[in-house]
Amino acid sequence: MDRQLSSDQLENRILTGDARALARAATLIESQGEIGRRLIAALFPHTGRAMVIGVTGPPGAGKSTLVDQLAKVLRRQGKTAGIIAVDPSSPYSRGAILGDRIRMQDHYPDPGVFIRSMASRGKLGGLAAATLDMALLLDAAGREVILIETVGVGQDEVEIARLADVTVLVLGPGFGDDVQAIKAGIMEIADVFAINKADLPGADRLEQEIRAMQSLADDAGRENAASIRRVVATEGKGIGELLGAIEGAFRTRGRRSARTETWNYRLREMLRDSLLENLAEEMVQQHADRVAEKIEDPYTAVAALRDELSHAGSGRM
């Protein structure tokens, strides 16, 4: 593609769904620079049509296999899809990245499925913002359904899933013993439970545990209880039914991205990110050293850093 392509031209091509323009814009957004930001600002009025599905769950639950199958069913229905795979740079997904590529290659010849992996590169906070920008880009480009796969271990990944329109929590037998442990962190974010690997023993017990947990909720909680669907992702079993449950949740719960509370959260995160971006890491480190050695108290350190920000921050976003 022409390197000189103006941002107006790039924007127009994205809006027509041009796959190459989309790939180029995705790279801009990944680098989280000023150009990517301006692009999202320009595209924002054209967003709000896609259904964004967050797919999360413990490592190895079968999220990638399931996302792949969901994309297949969507394509059969004539819908376009976008897949964002979030790699939290945790040791868990190291091995799966290659696996993901191989499995998702199924779609590569199909321009109706756009796939992108996001890596956190150790940046504090930036992962959630970059992932949500990517979802906005795909939305503006006319992708009808956007699937975001995150590993439900870190807070960042859970937040990303929580901000999707519908959150699917993928569990599998063998993780059954963990329901209690998982419950504390992420059970409550599920709009739909997918019990994957239903071909293996233990699916019954897992479903019972989830239902037992749901029965403990108050009346309002029970009324809104997440639906539970069994699937065998490797064989493509139950995928249509799962998609039906997801669409049902989308209809009853509405679009999270249209809620003030979602934007309240997002704007706070973005503000935090942009402030931290203007602070040199060494600067924070220096004060951290001083506080650790008790040469400085933490409030004085924060005041000094805030001073630094008001100098560095002028003229930037």
Binding site for Mg ion (CB under 5 A): 63-64, 96
- Is 288 a binder of ligand GTP (CB under 6 A)? no
With respect to Mg ion, which residue has the nearer C-beta, 14 or 186?
186
Total residues contacting ligand GTP by CB under 6 A comes to 19
- Is 167 a binder of ligand GTP (CB under 6 A)? no
Q: What character string, x for contact with ligand GTP (CB under 6 A) and - otherwise, covers 144-163? A: -------x------------
Minimum distance from residue 196 beta carbon to ligand GTP (Å): 5
- Which entry of Mg ion, ligand GTP, none binds 233, CB below 5 to 8 A by partner kind? ligand GTP
Q: How far is CA 10 from CA 26, 58, 214, in A?
A: 11, 38, 48
Residues 61-120 that bind ligand GTP (CB under 6 A): 61-65, 92-93, 96, 99
Of these, 199, 247, 277, 296, which contacts ligand GTP (CB under 6 A)? 199
Minimum distance from residue 197 beta carbon to ligand GTP (Å): 4
**The pairing of beta strand 166-171 with beta strand 192-195:** parallel
Order across the sheet with 81-87: list the strands. Answer: 113-119, 81-87, 145-149, 51-56, 166-171, 192-195, 227-230
Of these, 60, 125, 174, 236, which contacts ligand GTP (CB under 6 A)? 60
With respect to Mg ion, which residue has the nearer C-beta, 134 or 141?
134
Measured from each CB, the residue nearest to Mg ion is: 64
Of these, 104, 140, 226, 233, which contacts ligand GTP (CB under 6 A)? 233
Minimum distance from residue 131 beta carbon to Mg ion (Å): 15
With respect to Mg ion, which residue has the nearer C-beta, 64 or 131?
64
Minimum distance from residue 149 beta carbon to ligand GTP (Å): 7
Minimum distance from residue 199 beta carbon to ligand GTP (Å): 5
Report the half-sphere exposure of 287 (CA within 13 A, side-chain side).
Answer: 17
Minimum distance from residue 149 beta carbon to Mg ion (Å): 6
Minimum distance from residue 203 beta carbon to Mg ion (Å): 20
Of these, 17, 59, 125, 240, which contacts ligand GTP (CB under 6 A)? 59
Give the CA dihedral 119, 121, 122, 127, nearest 10 degrees: -40
Pick the stretch among 58-66, 180-188, 222-230, 287-295 that binds ligand GTP (CB under 6 A).
58-66
Of these, 196, 207, 256, 257, which contacts ligand GTP (CB under 6 A)? 196
With respect to ligand GTP, which residue has the nearer C-beta, 45 or 91?
91
The 3-state secondary structure of the chain reads: CCCCCCHHHHHHHHHCCCHHHHHHHHHHHHCCCHHHHHHHHHHHHHCCCCEEEEEECCCCCCHHHHHHHHHHHHHHCCCCEEEEEEECCCHHHHHHHHHHHHHHHHHCCCCCEEEEEEECCCCCCHHHHHHHHHHHHHHHCCCCEEEEECCCCCHHHHHHHHCCCEEEEEECCCCHHHHHHHHHHCHHHCCEEEECCCCCCCHHHHHHHHHHHHHCCCHHHHHCCCEEEECEHHHCECHHHHHHHHHHHHHHHCCHHHCHHHHHHHHHHHHHHHHHHCCCHHHHHHHHHHHHCCCCCHHHHHHHHHHHHHHHCCCCC
Residues that bind ligand GTP (CB under 6 A): 59-65, 92-93, 96, 99, 151, 196-197, 199-200, 232-234
